[in-house]
Structures are given as C-alpha cells and as structure tokens.
C-alpha cells in the first residue's frame, strides 16, 4: 500500500515555502519511489476543514525552487477559533480529522508559523500524524535558531534601508522605515544593522521618544545631515509598556494615531524640527524569490521531514539548532514565541556601533 503524505501551507506567505515543498516531495519520491503519493491541501487549514485536497504529480514539484509564495495557496485560520463553532455550524476540528481520513493520509506536513504550529499540535493531540516545518519572516518560532523566509526578508529590508539612505541624505531628512514584526524584532534588528540604521526600535525594548530625539540631535551636532530609523511595526513606548493591548489601542485611537511609525515621525518633527518621512515597504518583505540561503535551508528542512516520515516519527516540528537540522516535540514549542532577549549578541553589536535602541 502506498504511503500517502499530505502537505499544507498556512498563515502568511513567505519566500521558501515552495522550496520546502519541493525538498520534501523530491526526498519522499527518492525514499519511497512509486510507493508514495503526495496529497496537496489547498489554502492551509481552511482547505483541510473544507476537504479541498488532491493527489499531486511528481512534475508539479519541478521548477518551483526559486518561486515565491506557495503553489498550494495559504490562508490565515486563527488557532483561537479552531474549537469555536461559528454561524456556519462547522466543527473545525472534526472536519479536519474527517478530511485526513477521507484523503487516507498516513501523515500531514504543516508548513507555517506560530499559529500553524499551535493547530498542528492540536491535531497531533487528536491522534493525527503531524510534522511541523518552521516558516516565518519574523524568525520567532520557539526551539529553532532560524526559520525559512527570514534571511530573504532581511535581504529585502536591508535593500530598502540602503535605498532610503540616498534620498535621506539628498533631502537632509529623518527617515522612519516601518518593517514587519508585530511581537518580535529579529527582522528589524538584523536588517537595521545590515543597512546601517542609526536608530533601531523593536517591540522587546520599549522606546523613550526623548532618547530617540536626543540621538538624532547628537548626529546633527556631529555634522550628520540625516538619520535613518529602522522601526518594527509592533513597537510601543515606555508609557504603553505598562498598558494592556486594548488600552494601548484605545490610547492610540483617542490620539488619532494610525501607526506607531507615524506617531514617531510626528514627534520627531515636533521635538527636533527635522523634516521626517515614513517609508512602509510592507508585503514586499514577504514576496519574491527566496535567497540562496533560504533555498538551502528550506531544502534541508523539507528533506529532514521526509526522513521523519520514513521513520514514522510524528508529533514533532523540524528545527535548526547550532547548525544541525533536528526536531522538537510539537507540545514543547507550540504556543511559545522566540523574542529578542536582552542578552542577544546583535543588541550588543548595535550598542558597540553607537546605534540607539531608544
């Protein structure tokens, strides 16, 4: 009887999804030959709930190594809603288990971020054979040193900062670059250092706007005619640090603040008099072809998942630890977020370079 391996991609897209799918598929065909069938689940867990699956052909996994996005499609299906029966009266967990059974799956590979891994663990606890693969440009999945998609996003964000340097210098402006990262600041920290940002603000370190403006003023006194700020979208100031999420949102709404970066830019202009602009590269950070590093990493992760399938080793998530590809029990990593710690080497590097962290 053929081994039937399901694959889905869930959550936000990122470079390297197709490379991982390809790595897993090619390794499975290499290990099992004609004794394996790969079942593609459309649009993540939404497709698993709706029963949207099909048997894929080997040729579908060729020519996708360099392609961004995902050939399977993806969708956000919040974990907090997985056990909630909504107006459509669908029991999502029961529906996913039914699709797994109807597709006659022996196991399911779930490519995604934190939310994806929480649902993967839920399905594992429900008795399904699950393997998680860590995808996110935020690099915030617990238990792995790196996630595929992160390095490509760093490359893109760094190029944005590089390009902003020339216009900032030409117009003698402060430029506030809003980078992705709602909870974790890895992307902003790494690209900020790589792009030579003068100020780096991340969610893990609540900023003081007085310190930010003082750093800009100091550069001006040294003859520097511009300043570059790399700012994670999820940053908040020292006052907001003591507030709950809803309180912060209410405070910002009351002040008419659309984003933290717009507030920061406005405050800089008010407090220093320097002309300030905001740049938001947005979803460009998640799009396009994966970097060489991410192609290699994705292939390593995908082929390791195939090895786990061959060994019937489930209930785990693939990980990179100290440059070795391994795996973690899903129950140990699901629901945990890897934030930038105060002892992070990159924070030390930034401080040594004289970069202000707010």
Has 104 been labeled as part of a binding site? no
Is 115 annotated for ligand binding? yes
286 marked as binding residue: yes
Confirm whether residue 137 is marked as ligand binding. Answer: yes
- 173 has binding-site annotation: yes
Residue 136 assigned ligand-binding role:
yes
Enzyme catalytic residues: 138
76 annotated to bind ligand: yes
CA angle 171, 217, 273 (to 5 degrees): 60
Residue 217 is assigned to a ligand binding site: no
Q: Is 119 annotated as a binding residue?
A: no
285 assigned to a ligand binding site: yes
Judge whether 116 is annotated as a binding position.
Answer: yes
Residue positions forming the annotated binding site: 12, 76-77, 113-116, 136-138, 173, 233, 277, 283-286
Residue positions forming the annotated binding site for ATP: 12, 76-77, 113-116
């Amino acid at each position: 009887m053929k081994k039937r391996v399901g694959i889905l991609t869930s959550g936000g897209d990122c470079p390297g999804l197709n490379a991982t799918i390809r790595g897993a598929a090619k390794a499975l065909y290499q290990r099992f030959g004609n004794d394996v069938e790969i079942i593609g689940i459309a649009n993540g867990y939404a497709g698993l709930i709706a029963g949207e699956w099909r048997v894929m052909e080997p040729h579908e996994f060729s020519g996708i190594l360099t392609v961004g996005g995902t050939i399977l499609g993806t969708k956000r299906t919040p974990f907090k809603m997985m056990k909630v029966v909504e107006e459509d009266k669908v029991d999502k967990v029961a529906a996913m288990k039914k699709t797994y059974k109807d597709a006659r799956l022996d196991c399911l590979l779930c490519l995604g971020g934190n939310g994806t891994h929480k649902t993967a663990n839920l399905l594992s606890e429900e008795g399904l054979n699950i393997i998680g693969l860590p995808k996110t440009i935020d690099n915030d999945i617990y238990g792995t040193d790196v996630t595929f998609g992160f390095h490509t996003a760093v490359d893109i964000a760094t190029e944005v900062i590089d390009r902003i340097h020339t216009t900032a210098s030409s117009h003698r402006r402060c430029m506030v670059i809003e980078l992705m990262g709602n909870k974790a600041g890895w992307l902003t920290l790494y690209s900020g250092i790589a792009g030579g940002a003068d100020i780096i603000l991340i969610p893990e370190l609540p900023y003081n706007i007085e310190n930010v403006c003082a750093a800009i003023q100091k550069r001006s006194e040294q003859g520097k005619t511009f300043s570059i700020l790399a700012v994670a979208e999820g940053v908040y100031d020292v006052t907001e640090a003591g507030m709950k999420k809803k309180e912060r949102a209410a405070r910002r709404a009351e002040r008419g603040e659309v984003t933290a970066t717009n507030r920061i830019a406005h405050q800089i202009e008010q407090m220093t008099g320097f002309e300030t602009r905001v740049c938001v590269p947005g979803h460009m950070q998640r799009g396009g072809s994966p970097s060489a590093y991410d192609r290699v990493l994705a292939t390593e992760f995908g082929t390791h998942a195939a090895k786990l399938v061959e060994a019937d080793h489930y209930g785990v998530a693939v990980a990179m630890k100290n440059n070795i590809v391994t795996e973690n029990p899903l129950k140990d990593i699901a629901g945990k977020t890897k934030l930038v710690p105060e002892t992070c080497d990159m924070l030390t590097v930034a401080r040594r370079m004289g970069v202000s962290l707010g």
